[in-house]
Each structure stands twice: as structure tokens, then as C-alpha cells.
Amino acid sequence: MKKKQKMQKKAEIKSALKINFSTDWKYDPAPESADHIKLEKKYDLFINGKFVAPKKGKYFETINPAKETKLAEVAEGTEEDIDTAVRAARSAYEKIWSKISARERGKYLFRIARIMQEKARELAVIESLDSGKPIRESKTVDIPLAAAHFFYNAGWADKLDYAFPGRKAHSIGVAGQIIPWNFPLLMAAWKIAPALAAGNTVVLKPAETTPLTALKLAEIFQQADLPPGVVNIVTGAGATGAALTRHPDIDKIAFTGSTDIGKLIMKSLVGTNKKYTLELGGKSANIIFEDAALDQAVEGIINGIFFNQGHVCCAGSRLYVQESIAKNLIRKLKDRMETLIVGDPLDKNTDIGAINSKAQLEKIQSYLTIGIEEGAQRFQPACDLPKSGYWCRPTLFTDVAQSHRIAQEEIFGPVLSVQTFRTVEEVIEKANNTPYGLAGGVWTDKGAKVFSITSQIRAGVLWANTYNKFDPTAPFGGYKESGMGREGGVHGLYPYVELAS
């Protein structure tokens, strides 16, 4: 073939391969039915195996952030309610849970896991209604993983001697557990399951904006005949959590939430005998080398930051792209962002659901302005947003400097900052240059590069050629201001036992 013909052929192939992302076809709505779910109008506190009214008689509303409509009223627990719950947990610990055999404990956990699986669809719909997350995620990630944490820890209950070979594991007593709103049922499961497996009892404080699945879990505990007082659930706001951390008869605090509140809790525990684990914020780096499979990397980046509206502690919110491929990769990323569907969390086609609360939306929006003020270039696809509810378009910032606030601070929303790098040394320095150290990702064709880089990045979890993958057998936790202690895996049992030789 002559040179001219060759070039013409090439141009034809190129144009045939060019996908027009701006086509105006749309998916038909595919809403998940919510007819089968059972929600009470009003929820009391779950103490000593029963739902009881809060002592001060106060209730607050939990809303559906996609519609700004009330879902239910929920009891606001006070210091007195926390005290009643801790007493119930102590009594259950001394009289029942520390006395029954480990095998029996395991059976309860297996039973709870199985009922969660039976009720998976109802739990998924309630999770999406209360938190705003897409039903696809609640169904395939949150609820199955929550059940898997109970299954996994059920298996350990009578095998603690194998978890800690040569040592004897004793339970520690009553655990106070405080969880955030981004993975409400999953966070409850990953805290309650290891505590119970190791023989402790629990008082749990769910997040104010997402209490419903924890209360449904309380109904599951009743159905599973879990002895009264073994798990108590006291709903409320920050003050309820603070009362729990202050209570003198708590042996261990497990907190997941922001670094600011984590620091407050840590200070309040100084001088007490309470053990504690803190799972805090993050600003994780997702690193793309020129030898990576680019289309897969694009999916990984999208999943890393836009999964669950970026309400993920380990979200890959800082993207580092090797300079030689930056232009190509960013173009692919923008094209892919154009196809993302933002909208009804109950629609199975939705990629990005509602932002969890008005306050969180305002926080994210403030960073959208801060980024521009700092001199970065902002890109958002032109997707439609619903009229009511709290929504944020997926956002990408380029021309970002390492010192920018959008590259240093946790935004906790669907906002990605992009920087480039030339060498391995440069990207490691940049990746480590934040106060956080929770997670990160590396995309490359070379296994040796993966091992070399992941061992130099100071973060608790590092994914290679994938992102945001979780498993109950794998430990999770942070370096630096991302927290202390590990949850998940055998490591997750350590904070709930006292080891003797």
C-alpha cells in the first residue's frame, strides 16, 4: 500500500473507533421496589434486648437525602440512657456472655449472619434510603460484606487459641463503639462482630443521619434470641457519643469517624484505663504509571473516588499520573465521567447517589470554590441533577499543586485532584506528603514496582491494579492521622482481647 493510502486507512480506523460520549440516549429508569420494607414511624433505643423510650423523651428525624423527606423519628439518647445501656451491657457480660461457651457465642453470630442474608434486600433498600448511596452498592457491597463480617468472626469465636498461638485470649468487658454515616450497617457489623466473638458486650452509637439499619440490626438480634444486653444501640448525635466515651464503666472505645473527633476522643481517654482504636480520615493517593493498563486504570480511578459519592475514608482522592501518559489518561477519564449517572439512589443504573446531608454538601461545595481560588482547573460533566435532594456532580481538578488545600485536606465527596510526576522517587514523596496514611493504589504492569512502591508508601492499605476492594479477612487501618489499631482479619480481634501466656 502506498503511504497516502495507508494514512487514509489509518484515519478511517481511527474515526470508526472514536466513541461519541455525548450521544443523548438514556437508560430507562430501573427503580428498586421499596414496597417490601418495614419501617416504624418512631424508633426507641435498644437496651437490654428491648426497644425503650429515651429518658428525656426527645426524638430527632432521619431523612432521605435524595428527597429531603422524613423517613422516621429516632430517639435521642442522653447521658442517663448511655448509663442504662452500659449497665445492661455489664450485667450481660458478667452473667451471660463471658460465661457461655465460645462455641455457643459463635452459633449466635452465625445465626445473625444468616438472618442478615435473608433480609438483605430490605436492609439494602433502607440503607440507600437513609444514606443516599446507590442501591447497586448497598446490595453488592454493604450488606453482603456486613453479613460476611459476622460469618468470619463467628468462625473465630471458638478458635481464639489458634488466632493467638501459645497465648490465652481473655475478653475485656464492655466495648463502646461509635460509627459514621458512610457505611452504616457495615461499620456496625465490623465493630460488633469481633467484639462479640471475643466474648465482650457492646454499646453502639450509630451516626445521627443514618441510624435505621443499626435499628433493623437490633430487630435481627431479637430474632436471633441474642441474650438481652449483649448489644445495646443508643442513637443520638455527637453528645451521645461523647457520653459513651466518658462513661467510667467502659473498657474499650472503638471509634470510626473524622480525625478531629478522633483527636478529641483520644484526649478524653488520657489517664483512663480504657483501650481504644481509632479509624479516622484519609487523603489517599492513586498512582498511575505509564506502563499500566490505562482503560482498567480509568475504571479504578472512577471506582476509587466516585464510589459511594466519595464518602469513603480510603477514597483515592489524589490522583498521580506519570507525565508521559497524563494527557491521554485525563482525556479518557473525562470521557468516562461524562457517562456517569447521578441521581435516584434506588435506581439500579445510578452510579453516584445523593450526598448524605446538607452539611456535607455545603462542605464539598466550599472545596469546589477553594480549588478554583487556589488556581486549579475544574471539570464537571454536564449531567442532569434531580430537583430536590443533595447532589454533587463528579468533579476533577487539574493544575493542582501539592500545597493546595484540595490536595491536602479530606473533602469526603466526589472530588478528585490530579497531579503529574516523572520519577518513582518524586511520586513516593508526594504520596507521603499529607498528614494522613489510610490507603492508596498503584497501577503498573511490573510486579516488582508494585512491591517496591507499596513498601515505601506510609498507608495501611495499598491496592495494586485495583481499588476499594474489601474483605473481612484483611486488616484495615491507618498510619499517622488516619488512626491507630486495625480492624478486620485476625488483627481486628486483638483490640478485644487481653492476652496471657
Query: Catalytic amino acids?
Result: 279, 313
The partner in contact with residue 398, picked from Mg ion, ligand NAP, none with C-beta cut-offs of 5 to 8 angstroms by kind, is none
The partner in contact with residue 130, picked from Mg ion, ligand NAP, none with C-beta cut-offs of 5 to 8 angstroms by kind, is Mg ion
Closest CB to Mg ion among residues 209, 350 = 209
* Measured distance CA(418)–CA(127) in Å, rounded: 31
Q: How near is the Cβ of 500 to Mg ion at its closest, in Å?
A: 44
* Measured distance CA(279)–CA(479) in Å, rounded: 10
Instruction: Name the closest residue to ligand NAP (Cβ).
Output: 241
Which region, judged by CB under 5 A, interacts with Mg ion, from 7-15, 83-91, 128-136, 258-266? 128-136
Contact between 284 and Mg ion by CB under 5 A: the answer reads no
> 3-state DSSP call for residue 415?
strand
Q: How near is the Cβ of 308 to ligand NAP at its closest, in Å?
A: 10
The partner in contact with residue 86, picked from ligand NAP, Mg ion, none with C-beta cut-offs of 5 to 8 angstroms by kind, is none
Contact between 128 and Mg ion by CB under 5 A: the answer reads no
Kindly give the pairing relationship between strand 275-279 and strand 483-484.
antiparallel
* Measured distance CA(240)–CA(223) in Å, rounded: 27
Grid coordinates in use for 350? 445510578
DSSP for 236-271, please give it.
--HHHHHHHHH-TT--EEEEES-HHHHHHHHHHHTT
Among all chains, which residue has been given the C-alpha cell 453502639? Answer: 204
Q: Of the candidates 62, 128, 171, 277, which one interacts with Mg ion according to CB under 5 A?
A: 62
Closest CB to ligand NAP among residues 277, 398 = 277
The partner in contact with residue 282, picked from ligand NAP, Mg ion, none with C-beta cut-offs of 5 to 8 angstroms by kind, is ligand NAP
Angle between helices 102-118 and 212-223 (to 10 degrees): 120
* Measured distance CA(75)–CA(156) in Å, rounded: 34
Contact between 235 and ligand NAP by CB under 6 A: the answer reads no
Which region, judged by CB under 6 A, interacts with ligand NAP, from 3-11, 42-50, 239-247, 345-353? 239-247
Grid coordinates in use for 301? 480511578
Closest CB to ligand NAP among residues 199, 211 = 211
Helix (H), strand (E) at residue 487? none
Q: Of the candidates 65, 281, 414, 485, which one interacts with ligand NAP according to CB under 6 A?
A: 281
Nearest to 131 by CA among 221, 206, 63, 202: 63
Cβ atoms within 10 Å, residue 477: 23
> 3-state DSSP call for residue 144?
helix
* Measured distance CA(427)–CA(322) in Å, rounded: 9
Closest CB to Mg ion among residues 152, 181 = 181
Cβ-proximal residues to 144 (8 Å cutoff; 6+ apart), any chain = 117, 120
The partner in contact with residue 181, picked from ligand NAP, Mg ion, none with C-beta cut-offs of 5 to 8 angstroms by kind, is ligand NAP
| Rg over CA atoms, the chain | 24
Contact between 190 and ligand NAP by CB under 6 A: the answer reads no
Burial of 273 (0-12, 13-18, 19+ CB in 10 A): exposed
Q: Of the candidates 241, 310, 343, 389, which one interacts with ligand NAP according to CB under 6 A?
A: 241
Closest CB to ligand NAP among residues 125, 188 = 188
Contact 273, 249 (CB under 8 A): no
Contact between 238 and ligand NAP by CB under 6 A: the answer reads yes
Which region, judged by CB under 5 A, interacts with Mg ion, from 43-51, 129-137, 194-202, 438-446? 129-137
Grid coordinates in use for 161? 487459641
Closest CB to Mg ion among residues 130, 279 = 130
The partner in contact with residue 241, picked from ligand NAP, Mg ion, none with C-beta cut-offs of 5 to 8 angstroms by kind, is ligand NAP
**Binders in 399-438 for ligand NAP, by CB under 6 A:** 410, 412, 438
Closest CB to ligand NAP among residues 226, 459 = 459
Nearest to 219 by CA among 9, 463, 448, 38: 38
Residues at the contact surface with Mg ion, assessed by CB under 5 A: 62, 130, 209
Residues at the contact surface with ligand NAP, assessed by CB under 6 A: 178-182, 205, 207-208, 237-238, 241-242, 245, 256-258, 261, 264-265, 279-282, 313, 410, 412, 438, 478, 482-483
